[in-house]
Amino acid sequence: MSTLTAASADEWAQICSDSFAPCGIDRVASDFRGTVDVTVYSPATALVRLASQSMDVLRSRRHVTGAPRSDYMLLLHQQGGPGLLEQDGRWAEVRAGHAVLWDASRPYRFRWPTAIGQTVLKVSHDEMRHWFGDPSEMCARSLPSTLPTLRVLSAFLRELGDVEDELHDTQQRAELAHTAGELLATALRSADGTAAPRAAGREALLRMMRDFVRENLADPRLGPETIAERHCVSVRYVSSLFRDLGTSPAAYVREQRLERARRALDDPRRREVGIATVAGLCGFTDATTFCRAFRRAYGLTPAEYRSAGAGRKAPRARDSMTIAASRSSTLAGLTQTANAVPRVSTSR
């Protein structure tokens, strides 16, 4: 077993390139730390355990062309918040306890917004074909933790990682690699037809985009372009996701900014905060634009709303995003409830 440690994006990119396949790393913290333990059990099978802070990983066409690889990799996501894998136009949301398969011979990208702990089983193309055939349709599909065969595979790999320093016999290691391949094939066969459908990855990506918007409302640069850049997709794709909800990225950003401002104006603890300050905290670049947008949405200027609202409790109502989402069968479960006065208009 070899253990490698990185303290920067460049170091981590090199380690990941050596351990998995040449790739690029982006969006890491200035105090980034990551470690990888690699154990080779046979020429066709290896086990990699890693822990790192949040990051994005991209293996582009340039990487694939310049440094071909012929491995399938099964990632077991053991610790951390949900992440996303994209390959061949499919998005898979990967939650703790879930697994996902990808092919290093084709471009892919991962997004991990939180610190993670994971185990990855590497199996060569030839070995995988021997055990399973062609697993292409299983790539970028989240395998749930409720799958019994996946739990067996996870337990086996966890124990294998714990005793790897005690395994010195070459034949034993080869036999264990053989067992890992059989268990992987069994898990994939049992998951075929039960893995999360492709639409679930689309829903997950939209959910992460909406979270990103709400977390960055104070940034005046927030818009379709920044959403697309953060999630490594095109502006057109961002627009198509929000179109499923009957709105646009720009309209959703404005609606959320106005709702945050309304709540701030309703908060008695912030009554001394000026209107211009409220506007700035919600991402508006000038008070005039904010006041006009607020009046269009709520029928009152911010000052009038604050004056009229002393002691008032805003009624609970669904916003336009919730209404649209409840009408979309492909996006069921994304609805949310928010405190709101009459619905925010998304007209420009």
**CATH code of 253's domain:** 1.10.10.60
Q: Phi/psi zone of residue 336: left (φ > 0), alpha (ψ -120 to 50 degrees), beta?
A: beta
60: in domain = yes
**CATH code for the domain in which residue 36 is found:** 2.60.120.10
347: in domain = no
Residue that terminates a domain, selected from 196, 229, 249:
196
Reading the block at residue 287, the tokens are 């008070």
344: in domain = no
Identify the weakest region by mean pLDDT among 107-116, 168-177, 329-338: 329-338
* Residue 250 CA to its chain's centroid (Å): 21
DSSP bridge pairs for 26: 56
End-to-end CA distance of the chain: 59
What pLDDT sits at residue 199? 54
Higher pLDDT pick, 309 / 24: 24
Domain that holds residue 84: 2-196
Residues 143 and 185 sit within 8 Å (Cβ to Cβ): no
What pLDDT sits at residue 194? 47
Percent of the chain with pLDDT over 70: 85
User: pTM for this one?
Assistant: 0.61
What pLDDT sits at residue 85? 93
What pLDDT sits at residue 105? 94
Tell me: do 120 and 216 sit in the same domain. Answer: no
Reading the block at residue 29, the tokens are 């913290």
Other Cβ atoms closer than 10 A to 308: 9
Segment 134-154 mean pLDDT: 91
What pLDDT sits at residue 183? 93
Rounded to the nearest 5°, which phi and psi values hold at 181?
-65, -40
pLDDT, tens digit (0-9, with 9 covering 90-100), for 222-236: 999 999 887 767 888
Q: Phi/psi zone of residue 27: left (φ > 0), alpha (ψ -120 to 50 degrees), beta?
A: left
* DSSP letters for 240-304: HHHHTTTS-HHHHHHHHHHHHHHHHHH-GGGTTS-HHHHHHHTT-S-HHHHHHHHHHHHSS-HHH
- Rounded to whole angstroms, the Cα distance separating 103 from 316 reads 47
User: Collapsing DSSP states into helix, strand and coil, what is residue 52?
Assistant: strand
Other Cβ atoms closer than 10 A to 335: 17
Q: Which of 211, 183, 168, 192 is nearest to 81 (CA)?
A: 211
- Rounded to whole angstroms, the Cα distance separating 12 from 8 reads 6
Tell me: do 89 and 211 sit in the same domain. Answer: no
Reading the block at residue 164, the tokens are 């790897």
* Residue 184 CA to its chain's centroid (Å): 24
Tell me: do 222 and 117 sit in the same domain. Answer: no
Residue that terminates a domain, selected from 179, 196, 213:
196
Q: Which of 85, 111, 90 is nearest to 100 (CA)?
A: 85
- Rounded to whole angstroms, the Cα distance separating 59 from 104 reads 8
Reading the block at residue 177, the tokens are 């690699």
pLDDT, tens digit (0-9, with 9 covering 90-100), for 155-208: 999 999 888 888 888 899 999 999 999 999 999 988 875 444 455 567 777 888
Segment 21-25 mean pLDDT: 93
pLDDT, tens digit (0-9, with 9 covering 90-100), for 29-66: 778 999 999 999 999 999 999 999 999 999 999 999 99
pLDDT, tens digit (0-9, with 9 covering 90-100), for 226-281: 998 877 678 888 998 898 888 999 999 999 999 999 989 988 888 888 999 999 99
What pLDDT sits at residue 330? 34
- Rounded to whole angstroms, the Cα distance separating 345 from 348 reads 8
Average pLDDT of the residues of the chain: 83
Would you say how long the chain is, in residues? 348
The yes-or-no verdict on residue 315 having pLDDT over 60 is no
* DSSP letters for 154-217: HHHHHHHHHHGGG---HHHHHHHHHHHHHHHHHHHHHHTTTSPPHHHHHHHHHHHHHHHHHHTT
- Rounded to whole angstroms, the Cα distance separating 112 from 293 reads 35
Tell me: do 115 and 210 sit in the same domain. Answer: no
| Residue 336: its H or E element | none
- Rounded to whole angstroms, the Cα distance separating 108 from 101 reads 11
pLDDT, tens digit (0-9, with 9 covering 90-100), for 209-221: 888 898 899 999 9
Tell me: do 155 and 204 sit in the same domain. Answer: no
Segment 141-149 mean pLDDT: 91
Residues 48 and 119 sit within 8 Å (Cβ to Cβ): yes
